[in-house]
């Protein structure tokens, strides 16, 4: 194993291999290292941005919890689960990976979670922009107790910033 792959949690190694296969990149050690480095860079972007935005990491968000959350999946995708408003959540999914087997983005105003969101489990929707996601690596929520409209606005701003920085990571991977 290489320098970067050794730093990625072992639970994600098979997932990285699947991302490479779905990306149509060469399936070799060099590609594995590039994807592992990119994954580590994306993780760092996520952690730095949530810290800057006064968010905290949690292990779970209940399906009936009124707060919203920002999620980083094993594949490096982002999910903005909006706060509950009128018994629904606005959910935005962004595939920030190099995959060709997932939509680049999807959004649904009146989404409903099928169950609680937990680290190391997939997110499933009763109604949503996607049926399910890859497993959850990190969950972040706002520390401050804001009104739902303000929460949604803040989560959207953080997601946009994280997405922009992660897309920069992807460009770097492809140029190396």
Express each pLDDT in 23-65 by its tens digit.
777 888 888 888 888 889 889 999 999 999 989 999 999 999 9
The answer on pLDDT for 21 being more than 90 is no
**DSSP per-residue codes, 13-54:** HHHHHHHHHHHT---SHHHHHHHHHHHHHHHHHHHHHHHHTT
The answer on pLDDT for 77 being more than 70 is yes
pLDDT of residue 99: 52
pLDDT of residue 25: 77
Domain, as residue range, for 120: 1-176
The answer on pLDDT for 95 being more than 90 is no
Question: CB within 8 A of 128, min separation 6: which ones?
Answer: 91, 93, 108, 111, 112, 113
d(CA 74, CA 12): 7
pLDDT in tens, 99-132: 555 557 889 999 999 999 999 999 999 999 999 9
The answer on pLDDT for 81 being more than 60 is yes
Count of structural domains, the chain: 1
Strands (E), the chain: 55-58, 60-61, 69-73, 78-81, 89-94, 105-113, 117-118, 122-127, 132-142
174 versus 165: the higher-pLDDT residue is 165
Alpha-carbon distances, residue 31 vs 20, 41, 103 (angstroms): 8, 15, 22
Average pLDDT over residues 64-76: 92
């Amino acid at each position: 194993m290489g320098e970067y792959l050794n730093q990625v949690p072992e639970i994600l190694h098979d997932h990285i291999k699947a991302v490479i296969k779905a990306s149509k990149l060469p399936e070799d050690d060099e590609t594995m290292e590039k994807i592992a480095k990119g994954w580590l860079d994306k993780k760092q972007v996520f952690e730095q941005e949530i810290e800057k935005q006064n968010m905290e990491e949690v292990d779970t968000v209940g399906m009936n919890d009124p707060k919203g959350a920002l999620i980083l999946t094993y594949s490096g995708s982002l999910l903005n689960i909006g706060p509950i408003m009128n018994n629904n959540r606005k959910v935005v999914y962004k595939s920030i990976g190099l995959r060709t087997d997932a939509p680049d983005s999807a959004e649904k105003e009146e989404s409903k979670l099928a169950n609680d969101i937990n680290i190391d489990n997939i997110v499933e929707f009763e109604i949503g922009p996607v049926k399910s996601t890859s497993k959850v690596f990190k969950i972040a929520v706002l520390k401050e107790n804001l009104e739902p409209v303000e929460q949604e606005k803040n989560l959207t701003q953080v997601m946009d910033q994280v997405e922009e920085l992660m897309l920069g990571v992807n460009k770097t991977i492809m140029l190396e």
